[in-house]
């Protein structure tokens, strides 16, 4: 598999997951996943990894100039999903339900992560 490509399964994090940051300047913080970029293996997490972006004013688009703070993508390998049932960071497992649906499960408590 070439660098930067994603296996058929995709990433272990999905939008609206609660995740714990394992590495970097935001290590130890938790937040909700706002957006996922599977091809880049990165995700944007709410309240984590803030960067300062300098913007030029554009009156036509009603954009103010100045320095904005916004979240930057974090590498998915530095994120660990927090289980909704046991409220602990966990590795992800997969299981097939009786109705044939494949769901993600918590490795600690066997709780289903997908609603």
33-75 tens-digit pLDDT: 999 999 999 999 999 999 999 999 999 999 889 999 999 999 9
Q: Is residue 36 part of a domain?
A: no
Residue numbers of the domain that contains 111: 84-115
- Please say whether the beta carbons of 76 and 64 come within 8 A: no
* Count: domains in the chain: 1
Predicted pLDDT at 35:
94
Q: Is residue 108 part of a domain?
A: yes
Would strands 42-45 and 74-75 be described as parallel, antiparallel, or unpaired? antiparallel
- Please say whether the beta carbons of 90 and 82 come within 8 A: yes
Q: Is residue 99 part of a domain?
A: yes
What is the share, in percent, of the chain residues with pLDDT greater than 70?
A: 92
Element containing residue 97 per DSSP (H, E): none
Q: Give the global pTM.
A: 0.79
Element containing residue 65 per DSSP (H, E): none
- Report the alpha-carbon distance of residue 63 to residue 57 in Å, rounded: 6
Q: Is residue 60 part of a domain?
A: no
């Amino acid at each position: 598999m070439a660098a930067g490509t994603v296996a058929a399964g995709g990433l272990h994090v999905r939008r609206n997951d609660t995740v714990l940051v394992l590495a970097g300047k935001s290590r130890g913080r938790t937040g909700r996943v706002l957006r996922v970029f599977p091809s880049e293996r990165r995700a944007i997490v709410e309240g984590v990894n803030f960067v300062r972006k300098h913007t030029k004013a554009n009156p036509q688009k009603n954009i103010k100039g100045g320095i904005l703070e916004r979240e930057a993508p974090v590498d998915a390998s530095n994120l660990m999903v927090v289980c909704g049932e046991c409220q602990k960071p966990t590795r992800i497992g997969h299981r097939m339900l009786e109705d044939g649906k494949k769901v993600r499960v918590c490795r600690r408590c066997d709780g289903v992560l997908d609603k």
